[in-house]
A and B are shown apart, each in its own frame.
Chain A
Amino acid sequence: MKDSSRLLSIYYTAGYPQLHSTLNIAQKLEQAGVDFLEIGFPYSDPVADGPVIQRSSEKALQNGMTLDVLFKDLKKLREHVSIPVFLMGYFNPVLQYGVENFCKACKEVGVNGAIIPDLPLYEYEELYQKIFEENEIANIFLVTPQTSEERIRKIDELSNSFIYLLSSNATTGKNLNVNDESEKYFKRIKKMDLKNPIIIGFGISNAETFDKATQYAQGAIVGTAFVRMLDESDYENKIDNFIKNIKRGN
Chain B
Amino acid sequence: MSKYQVNQKGYYGPFGGAYIPEMLYPNVEELQKKYLSIIQEDNFQKEFNELLRDYVGRPSPLYYAKRLSKKYNANIFLKREDLNHTGAHKINNTIGQILLAERLGKKRIIAETGAGQHGVATATVCALKGLECVVYMGEIDIRRQAPNVARMKMMGAKVVAAQSGSKTLKDATNEALRDWINNPVDTHYIIGSVVGPHPYPDLVATFQSIISEETKKQLFEKTGNSLPDYVLACVGGGSNAAGMFYHFLDDEEVQLIAVEAAGHGVNSGESAATTALGNEGILHGSRSLLMQTKDGQVIEPYSISAGLDYPGIGPQHAWLFKSGRGKYVSVTDDEAMRAGLQLTQLEGIIPAIESSHALAHLEKMQVDKNTNIVVCLSGRGDKDLDNYMKYFGF
Contacts and interface: CB of A to CB of B under 8 A. Distances in A.
By secondary structure, the A interface counts as loop
A54 B177 contact: no
Nearest to A119: B19
Contact of A44 (B177, B181, B285, B297): B297
A118 B19 contact: yes
Interface in B24-52: 25-26
A144 interface: yes
Nearest to B18: A120
Given A44-B165, A48-B181, A171-B182, A120 B25 contact: yes
Chain A interface size range:
35 or more
B178 A171 contact: yes
A118 B21 contact: yes
A85 interface: no
Interface residues of B, number: 33
Interface centre among B170, B174, B290 (most CB of A within 10 A): B174
B105 interface: no
A48 B21 contact: yes
B364 interface: no
Given A47-B177, A123-B17, A171-B178, A95 B22 contact: no
A44 to B, nearest CB: 4
A143 B19 contact: no
A27 interface: no
Interface in B290-311: 290, 292, 294-298
B181 A96 contact: no
Contacts of B177: 47
Contact of A45 (B18, B165, B182, B184): B165
Nearest to A51: B164
B95 to A, nearest CB: 27
Interface in A95-121: 95-97, 117-120
A169 B181 contact: yes
Nearest to B178: A171
A91 B294 contact: no
Contacts of A234: none
B110 interface: no
B296 A169 contact: no
Contacts of B280: 95
B26 A43 contact: no
A144 B180 CA distance: 14
B285 A118 contact: yes
Interface in A133-168: 141-144, 146-148, 151, 166
Nearest to B30: A146
B282 interface: yes
Contact of A141 (B22, B281, B283): B22
A12 to B, nearest CB: 19
Given A48-B21, A120-B25, A170-B23, A146 B297 contact: no
Interface of A: 43-50, 54, 58, 61, 66-68, 90-97, 117-120, 122-123, 141-144, 146-148, 151, 166, 169-171, 174
27 contacts: A45-B165, A45-B284, A45-B298, A47-B178, A47-B181, A66-B295, A91-B19, A91-B282, A92-B281, A92-B296, A94-B296, A95-B296, A96-B296, A97-B295, A97-B296, A117-B23, A118-B20, A120-B22, A120-B25, A144-B23, A146-B25, A146-B26, A148-B26, A151-B25, A169-B23, A169-B182, A171-B182
Interface of B: 9, 17-23, 25-26, 164-165, 170, 174, 177-178, 181-182, 184-185, 280-285, 290, 292, 294-298
